């Protein structure tokens, strides 16, 4: 009998711990006042507005860093607010700075991650900000375990954003137009970077990234000082392959280092509209008269036809029914032919379904697909037509 009672006690205890692994609160204050088997909580979700925007006693943002004192085994936080994460400062840090216990952070509606918000979160390895459009200075500075940065809507990466993220090995910024100073400096795990829309890359942005092998900037027109210096593993570089008209690329000082021989092991690919045109294995930029800027010599230079990009104007995209239980229909008018890519993402930014990736002719476009197998919840439908992005919120019942 005693053995049976003891077994029942253990079973109930296990169920209690399992049931409390993730807990949802309306506010951060509710979370800090929680007292019921706190040690079992691994993840908390805050569904309501976060009060305040500073380090005052009434500000809830200032309480995030010490949530581990309430939940000793907490490692993951999700906030569902559409508020921006406020800027921190270099005196007191960001609102999540030095939260060594934090491993995962999810913010499905946040559009801006503030200055040094997560700096020195040395345990942070997973982040999801599918709606973010801008990253503040040093937002993830010294997040040494962060392995992936996937920001499908960010248009501006500010200075020092990922500096010293030494485990970072995968980056996805399809719409980032600017990359700030030292943004990826000391990212020693990066081996390849592609920024399809980046026009301006500021000083030291990828210096040093000693494992970097390949870089591709099809629309870059301004590359700052020492952007790729100290990256002696580089063997393939591509510029200007999406230039639709002849254009020059302004190189800063010592983009690839001080000595011309530093590019002798690099295969260079240029779009045919890049000026000046290469001669043999020599291609130089428009300010080579500066005394200590080398005329780079490359292992090889390949000039390829520039992509003929047509910006497609879209009439309003219709997605119906919405809410949906099983099948959805996507319909819009294409004024020119082009590549159509449609995908569905959950609110954490994870792709859950590839719907279409094909060339489509001018005219009415219609696509019907089933999503009945997906769990109920909110999803984001993304439509890429050539270089135009449209997103739609979709509710699955």
Mean pLDDT for 23-35 is 96
pLDDT, mean of residues 329-339: 80
Residue of 348 and 254 predicted with greater confidence: 254
Q: Which domains does the chain have, with CATH numbers?
A: 318-396 (2.60.40.2550)
Nearest to 284 by CA among 272, 297, 273: 297
Collapsing DSSP to helix, strand or coil, 368 comes out as strand
CA angle 265–267–269, rounded 5-degree value: 155
Query: What is the rounded distance in angstroms from the CA atom of residue 143 to the CA atom of residue 123?
Result: 7
Q: Give the C-alpha separation, 141 to 153, whole Å.
A: 20
| CB-based contacts of 5, cutoff 8 Å, min separation 6 | none
| CA max distance for the chain | 92
For residue 307, name the pLDDT band (cuts at 50, 70, 90): low
- Average pLDDT estimate for 19-43: 92
pLDDT in tens, 216-229: 998 899 999 999 98
Note the pLDDT tens digit of each residue in 343-382: 887 755 567 888 887 777 778 888 899 998 988 887 878 7
Q: 3-state secondary structure string, 232-274?
A: CCCCEEEECCCCCCCEECEECCCCCCCCHHHHCCCEEEEECCE
pTM of the shown model: 0.74
* pLDDT digits 0-9 by tens, 139-193: 999 999 999 998 988 999 999 999 999 999 999 888 899 999 999 999 999 999 9
Average pLDDT over residues 40-59: 93
Choose the weakest-confidence range: 10-19, 117-126, 231-240, 322-331: 10-19
Q: In whole angstroms, what is the distance from residue 42 CA to residue 67 CA?
A: 11
The string over 7-31, giving b where at least 16 C-beta atoms fall within 10 Å of a residue's C-beta and e elsewhere, is: eeeeeeeeeeeeebeebebebbbbb
Q: Which residue has the tokens 């029942």?
A: 8
């Amino acid at each position: 009998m005693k053995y049976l009672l003891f077994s029942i006690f253990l079973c109930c205890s296990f169920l209690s711990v399992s049931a409390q692994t993730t807990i949802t609160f309306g506010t951060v204050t509710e979370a800090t006042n929680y007292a019921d088997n706190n040690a079992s909580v691994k993840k908390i979700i805050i569904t309501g507005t976060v009060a305040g925007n500073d380090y005052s006693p009434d500000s809830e943002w200032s309480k995030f860093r010490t949530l581990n004192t309430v939940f000793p085994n907490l490692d993951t936080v999700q906030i569902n607010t559409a508020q921006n994460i406020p800027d921190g400062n270099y005196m007191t840090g960001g609102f999540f700075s030095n939260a060594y216990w934090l491993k995962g952070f999810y913010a499905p509606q946040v559009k801006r991650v503030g200055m040094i918000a997560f700096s020195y979160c040395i345990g942070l390895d997973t982040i999801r900000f599918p709606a973010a459009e801008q990253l503040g200075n040093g937002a993830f500075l010294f997040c040494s375990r962060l392995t992936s940065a996937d920001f499908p809507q960010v248009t501006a990466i500010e200075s020092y954003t990922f500096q010293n993220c030494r485990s970072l090995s995968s980056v996805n910024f399809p719409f980032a137009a600017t990359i700030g100073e030292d943004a990826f400096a000391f990212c020693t795990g990066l081996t390849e970077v592609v920024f399809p829309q980046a026009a301006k890359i500021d000083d030291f942005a990828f210096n040093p990234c000693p494992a970097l092998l390949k870089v591709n900037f099809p629309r870059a027109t301004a590359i700052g000082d020492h952007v790729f210096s100290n990256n002696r593993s580089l063997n393939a570089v591509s510029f200007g392959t999406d230039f639709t008209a002849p254009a020059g690329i302004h190189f800063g000082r010592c983009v690839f280092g001080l000595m011309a021989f530093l590019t002798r092991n690099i295969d260079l690919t240029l779009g045919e509209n890049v000026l000046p045109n290469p001669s043999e294995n020599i291609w130089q930029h428009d300010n080579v008269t500066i005394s200590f800027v080398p005329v780079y010599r490359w292992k090889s230079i390949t000039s390829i036809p520039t992509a003929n990009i047509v910006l497609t104007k879209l009439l309003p995209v219709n997605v119906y029914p919405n809410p949906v239980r099983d099948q959805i229909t996507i319909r819009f008018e294409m004024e020119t032919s082009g590549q159509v890519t449609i995908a569905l993402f959950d609110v954490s930014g994870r792709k859950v379904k590839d719907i279409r990736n094909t060339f489509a002719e001018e005219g009415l476009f219609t696509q019907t697909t089933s999503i009945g197998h997906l769990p109920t919840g909110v999803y984001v439908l993304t439509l890429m037509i050539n270089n135009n992005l449209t997103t739609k919120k979709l509710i699955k019942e």
